[in-house]
Amino acid sequence: MYLAIGSWFWFLLVILLVAVVWFWTWRSDKGKKVKEPELVTDPVCEMRFAADKAVAKVRHNGKTYYFCAEACRRDFEADPSRYLGTAHGSSVTS
């Protein structure tokens, strides 16, 4: 009889501990803010992406331009004024 009562006690204690750990983890995650990545626009193809995912970047006239592909970088370097003469030439200063 004592063994049966002891088994239930330990079983319920383990369940209680698991519930407390789960609740503590859930509560501590609620207040954390996720930092949004800095979005940039490729001046050649106008694709938007996170700056840290850029395949290439080029400094031009004191600004840094980010590119989604090497082909876009090559096109930009061949004729920057073609892509910066319009409103879609978004850049990020570094």
The residue ranges of every structural domain in the chain are 1-33, 39-84
Residue 91 — pLDDT band, cuts 50, 70, 90? very low
Identify how many contiguous H helices and E strands the chain contains and give both numbers: 3, 4
Strand partners, 52: none
pLDDT value, residue 94: 36
Mean of pLDDT values over 74-79: 94
53 pLDDT higher than 50: yes
Query: How much of the chain is in helix, strand and coil states, percent to nearest 5?
Result: 50, 20, 35
85 pLDDT higher than 80: no
Residue 67 — pLDDT band, cuts 50, 70, 90? very high
Q: How far apart are CA 5 and CA 12, in angstroms?
A: 11
7 pLDDT higher than 90: no
Give the amino acid at 29: D
Mean of pLDDT values over 27-39: 75
Mean of pLDDT values over 1-14: 74
Distances in whole angstroms, Cα of residue 76 to Cα of each of 39, 45, 48, 63: 19, 10, 16, 13
